[in-house]
């Protein structure tokens, strides 16, 4: 009988779904049996968790109330501390602004608005396809490379990697323009004074007496540090660890970077992105929403609804992208250009 390609059993599917190459390719990887959660055989949380009892619900509510109370206590303690002459002197000396060279350009150019929007859009797709790769019990479709036959993966993973490529390309364009236009000085710290200023801004945020904003001209030190961290630390870390986990990583570099280490870093990096976005968007919405959105989405420094309207349109596109990332038949279309695709029937 002619030997055809091995049929995809459940385990094989799950392994492909996670982007793990066969043991023949990676003999060292088979030694420790990996828990089901890592090979895509996750059981949905909702399938297993017992319904909470009334006592648990009441205890949860008390816990939440206690947290709110504790947060208020922190606010009042920090307010008390900030009213002392020493801390007043500290705030006068370090008001919280990010120090930046006098030549730094003001404002938000169109290229920044576009790359910022595309970054957020691709990130939504990356997170959605990433969640699918981690939790899917059974791949909804399979992609096999026409060039390298052994290169096979679930359609969710193919979509994840494809969007990663666009996200990285957009990131490269952003960084090149950042340095070409001098805009870099707004998000790259250029003086050690950024640290006491960031502490000052943090104390002001916690006291709910928020630092004065003039982000058209410069960010505050905490913004500068967090933007620097997300652009120059978290984004490269996500890209490098993702590349290491992918089937495109050259086998000859196998020992240079441990697969397990990459796996341990990649997912927490995504959580960091999600945490950043929650705080970032929370602050955008609560510190002069119309002006902030006008900066980034309309390139103007006034309080009209134009930026808000563009932002609302971008949210519609993101919701559409989130839903599209769950459709294997849609992912299959571009995937067919690069390989053979088999969309599996839904069970
Ligand atoms: C839909 C969600 C988002 C909204 C509404 C939003 C909004 C904004 C706004 C209004 C600013 C300017 C801040 C100001 O004027 O004070 C800004 C800057 C920035 N945002 Fe976002 N953002 C979003 C998502 C993201 C995401 C996902 C990232 C990265 C993971 C990100 C990274 C940045 C960075 C790095 C800057 C500084 C850009 C520069 O000046 O070079 N944002 N964002």
Per-residue pLDDT of the chain (347 residues; tens, 9 = 90+): 333 333 333 444 444 444 444 333 343 343 344 443 333 333 344 445 678 899 999 999 999 999 999 999 999 999 999 999 999 999 999 999 998 999 999 999 999 999 999 999 999 999 999 999 999 888 889 999 998 888 899 999 999 999 999 999 999 999 999 999 999 999 999 999 999 999 999 999 999 998 888 999 999 999 999 999 999 999 999 999 999 999 899 999 999 999 999 999 999 999 999 999 999 999 999 999 999 999 999 999 999 999 999 999 999 999 999 999 999 999 999 999 999 999 888 76
State residue 148's pLDDT score.
85
| φ and ψ at residue 334, rounded to 5 degrees | -70, -30
Nearest CA to ligand 1 atom 26: 120
Tokens found for residue 268: 């927490």
Pocket test for ligand 1, best of 97, 106, 112, 116 (most atoms within 8 A of CB): 116
Q: Cα(170)–Cα(158) distance, rounded to whole angstroms?
A: 19
> What is the C-alpha separation between 282 and 280, in angstroms, rounded?
5
Domain locations in the chain? Answer: 10-42+84-343
Within 6 A (CB) of ligand 1 lie: 112, 116, 119-120, 123, 183, 186-187, 215, 227, 230-231, 273, 276-277, 280-281, 284, 292-293, 295-296, 311
Q: What is the pLDDT of residues 141-177, one digit of tens each?
A: 999 999 888 889 999 999 999 999 999 999 999 999 9
305 Cβ contact list (under 8 Å, min separation 6): 290
pLDDT at 20: 40
Nearest-5° angle of CA 44, CA 9, CA 136?
Answer: 25
C-alpha 320 – ligand 1 centre gap (Å): 20
Instruction: Please count the other Cβ atoms lying within 10 Å of the Cβ belonging to residue 190.
Output: 14
> CB atoms < 10 A from the CB of 80, how many?
11
pTM of the complete model: 0.83
Tokens of 323: 């839903």
The pLDDT of residue 35: 40
The overall longest dimension of the chain from CA atoms, in Å, is 89
Question: Can you tell me the distance from the alpha carbon of 5 to that of 150, in angstroms, rounded to the nearest whole number?
Answer: 10
Residue in this structure with the two tokens 């990663």, named with its chain if needed: 164
Q: Which three-class secondary structure string do you get for the chain?
A: CCCCCCCCCHHHHHHHHCCCCCCCCCHHHHCCCCCHHHHCCCCCHHHHCCCCCHHHHHHHHHHHHHHHHHHHHHHHHHHHHHCCHHHHHHHHHCCCECCCCCCCCCCCCHHHHHHHHHHHHHHHHHHHHHHHHHHCCCCCEEEEECCCCCCEEEHHHHHHHHHHHHHHHHHHHHHHHHHHHCHHHHCCCCCCCHHHHHHHHHHHHHCCCCCCCECCCECEHHHHHHHHHHHHHHHHHHHHHHHHHCCCCCHHHHHHCCHHHHHHHHHHHHHHHHHHHHHHHHHHHHCCHHHHHHHHHHCCCCCCCHHHHHHHHHHHHHHHHHHHCCCHHHHHHHHHHHEEEEECCCC
Q: What is the reported pLDDT for 142?
A: 94
């Amino acid at each position: 009988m002619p030997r055809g390609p091995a049929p995809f059993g459940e385990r094989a599917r799950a392994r492909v779904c996670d982007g793990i190459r066969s043991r023949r390719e990676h003999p060292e990887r088979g030694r420790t049996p990996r828990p089901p959660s890592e090979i895509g055989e996750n059981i949905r949380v909702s399938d297993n968790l017992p319904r909470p009892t009334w006592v648990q619900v009441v205890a949860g509510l008390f816990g939440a109330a206690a947290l709110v109370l504790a947060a208020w206590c922190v606010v009042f303690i920090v307010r008390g501390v900030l009213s002392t002459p020493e801390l007043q002197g500290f705030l006068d000396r370090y008001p919280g602004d990010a120090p930046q060279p006098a030549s730094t350009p003001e404002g938000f150019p169109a290229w920044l608005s576009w790359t910022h929007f595309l970054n957020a859009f691709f990130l939504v797709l990356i997170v959605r396809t990433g969640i699918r790769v981690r939790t899917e019990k059974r791949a909804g479709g399979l992609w096999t490379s026409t060039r390298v036959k052994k290169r096979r993966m679930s359609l969710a993973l193919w979509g994840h990697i494809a969007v990663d490529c666009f996200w990285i390309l957009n990131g490269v364009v952003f960084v090149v323009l950042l340095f070409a236009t001098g805009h870099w000085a707004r998000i790259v710290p250029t003086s050690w004074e950024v640290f006491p200023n960031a502490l000052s801004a943090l104390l002001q945020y916690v006291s709910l007496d928020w630092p004065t904003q003039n982000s058209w001209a410069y960010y505050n030190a905490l913004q500068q540090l967090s933007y620097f961290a997300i652009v120059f630390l978290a984004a490269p870390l996500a890209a490098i660890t993702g590349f290491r986990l992918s089937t495109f990583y050259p086998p000859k570099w196998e020992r240079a970077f441990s697969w397990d280490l990459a796996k341990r870093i990649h997912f927490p990096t995504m959580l960091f992105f999600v945490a950043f976005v929650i705080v970032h968007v929370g602050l955008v919405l609560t510190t002069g929403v119309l002006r902030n959105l006008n900066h980034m989405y309309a390139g103007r420094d006034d309080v009209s609804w134009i930026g808000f309207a563009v932002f609302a349109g971008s949210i519609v596109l993101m919701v559409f992208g989130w839903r599209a990332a769950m459709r294997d038949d849609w992912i299959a279309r571009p995937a067919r250009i690069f390989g053979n695709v088999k969309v599996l029937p839904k069970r």
